[in-house]
Amino acid sequence: VCSATGKPAPKITWLEDRDLDGSPEIHHIQNANGTVTVANRLTFSANHLRALACVLDHPQGRKVKAVHLEKGREGVQKSIIILVILIAVVFLTILILWVMRLINRKRKKLKSHSPPRTPAKKKGSHQDLSEKAVNPHTPKHQHVVYQNE
């Protein structure tokens, strides 16, 4: 906003208006003492402008007034950038955790469907071989022939 008060009403124009997006809003306020306050409001993108100047023309003289970009707006832009980065980091963290969980599920599924790697019957640290033990005595129904030489 660039404003000036005078009698007659001052004329306000903007320098560097070729990069501006829209046309300015001009408001005239008639004061009780006969002067007129002119307020010229211009909306512009903060991406390509850091400072802007308005020219106040009046029969008593000409004045150039610099209008600087508010610090608060720059802070808001930085806050938005920080927020976007924070959201991206949280999203990537969740995505990585989800992928790791999916991989672990697949590994567990493969382990549950694969045959066991150790014998099923175990007693202590030694295998139970009693069923496979061979009797050293020859059964009665088997004929054994000895030959002396």
In this prediction, residue 27 carries a pLDDT of 92
Whether the CB-CB separation of 96 and 90 falls below 8 Å is answered with no
Cis peptide before 8 (omega within 30 of 0): yes
In this prediction, residue 101 carries a pLDDT of 95
Number of neighbours of residue 35 by Cβ within 10 angstroms:
15
Whether the CB-CB separation of 45 and 21 falls below 8 Å is answered with yes
In this prediction, residue 100 carries a pLDDT of 96
Whether the CB-CB separation of 29 and 36 falls below 8 Å is answered with yes
pTM score, whole prediction: 0.43
Along the 149 residues of the chain, how does pLDDT read in single tens digits? 788 999 999 999 888 655 666 778 899 999 999 999 999 887 776 665 666 788 999 888 899 888 766 555 556 778 889 999 999 999 999 999 999 999 999 888 888 776 666 655 555 555 555 555 555 665 666 666 666 76
CA-to-CA dists, residue 42 to 15, 29, 61, 84, angstroms: 12, 17, 23, 28
Q: How far apart are CA 35 and CA 40, in angstroms?
A: 16
Per 3-state DSSP, what percentage of the chain is helix, strand, and coil (rounded to 5)?
Answer: 30, 25, 45
Q: How far apart are CA 43 and CA 73, in angstroms?
A: 13
Q: How far apart are CA 6 and CA 4, in angstroms?
A: 7
In this prediction, residue 94 carries a pLDDT of 97
Domain boundaries, given as residue ranges, for the chain: 2-69, 70-112
Q: What are the helix (H) ranges across the chain?
A: 71-113
Question: What fold, for 2-69?
Answer: Immunoglobulin-like (2.60.40)
